[in-house]
Amino acid sequence: MPYVRQTSHIDRVRDLIAGRIVNPGADTARLASSYRRSLDDYRLDPASTTGPRILTGAELRAIQQSEEDFLRSTGQCLPRLHAMVREAGYCVILANARGVTIDYVVDTDQRKDFKKAGLYPGSCWSEEEEGTCGIASVLLDHEAITVHKTDHFRAAFTGLTCSAAPIFSPHGDLIGVLDASALRSPDARDSQRLVKQLVRQGATLIEDGFFLKSYSHCCILLAHRNRHFVEVQPEMLLAIDEHGDIVAANRCARDVIGASTACRVPSPRCWTCAPRGCSMRARDAVCCPCAWPAAARGCTRACARRCARPRRVRAPCARPPSRKTWWPTRRRNWPNARASPTP
């Protein structure tokens, strides 16, 4: 059931587009732009009370199979985020780059209610179909947002609150959206600030997980501005190949070194060792705590440690016999043995 009357919601949409809203929020410009596209480009009806389109089971399975690497990289991020917000009545949704819900976490006793609202695997949340909503706004603007209740374009969703954040690939391409939505929440938009921040952090964790999976064949440099968090909660990740060159970096690292997301991350010529200040190449610097390159934006300093790629561990072998036993003087000591070479 709509949160507000349909006629009142239509008036609010028109007032927001015309700029007649009192005390506009920080995202008013983004919402107004989305409203215009929904009305003029997609010809959607803001008074519609029908839910989103939901794919069939076969269609959803085909999309999930194509997103298998992305889904595997999420690990326990969705359940952990849901554990933080579940008591407030939220569900957690993971959508792909087309706005299709490919995974979600929700309490079992609330699953039917969320399904009625369209928060269910296979639901489609693109702006072309549903107008302004959390997932659609992130897909277009590539920035986190909270679409709170009447901020939604369609009257069917004016009772929901949605906080969403983008998920990027190591090359800077948008690959998905993480969203936390609730059926009931306070009317004030400020009440969703904490949830929005938690969603942002969860999206960053998924990004880093996808980065590690994509470059599992490389050595990974873990870095943080505070040396105490290098190994427990690294914020910068760099993939280093066998030649010692940096071939990829996560979003935080790209922001620090100022590299373009559309090109290969350049390898710094010189890294400064923190304790001695000696010069060394990247492949040498990964062996000890080090400072960020001096050419980094704002001369930001960071500490880093190497996380080597996993190697196949061989089974321990028996201790070889002594030289005297290994090179027997008489062949009869080794039944069925070939002639021994000269030691």
211-244 pLDDT per residue, tens: 999 999 999 999 988 888 888 888 999 999 988 8
pLDDT at site 149? 94
Interval 237-270: pLDDT, tens? 999 998 888 899 999 998 887 654 333 444 443 3
Which two three-digit tokens encode residue 311?
Answer: 């190697």
Residues 6 or more apart whose CB falls under 8 angstroms from that of 239 comprise 170, 211, 215, 218, 219, 220, 221, 246, 247, 248, 249
Yes or no: say if 80 and 202 are a contact pair by the CB < 8 Å rule: yes
Yes or no: say if 135 and 95 are a contact pair by the CB < 8 Å rule: yes
pLDDT at 146 over 70: yes
What are the helix (H) ranges across the chain? 6-18, 28-36, 57-66, 68-73, 77-85, 111-116, 127-130, 134-141, 193-214, 251-257, 282-285, 323-326
Q: Mean pLDDT, to the nearest integer, of 190-211?
A: 96
Tell me the residue type at 339: A
Q: Which residues of 146-171 are buried (b: 16+ CB within 10 A; e: fewer)?
A: bbbbbbbbbbbbbbbbbbbbbbbbbe
Give the least confident one: 11-25, 126-140, 161-175.
Answer: 11-25
Q: How many residues can be counted in the chain?
A: 343
pLDDT at site 301? 52
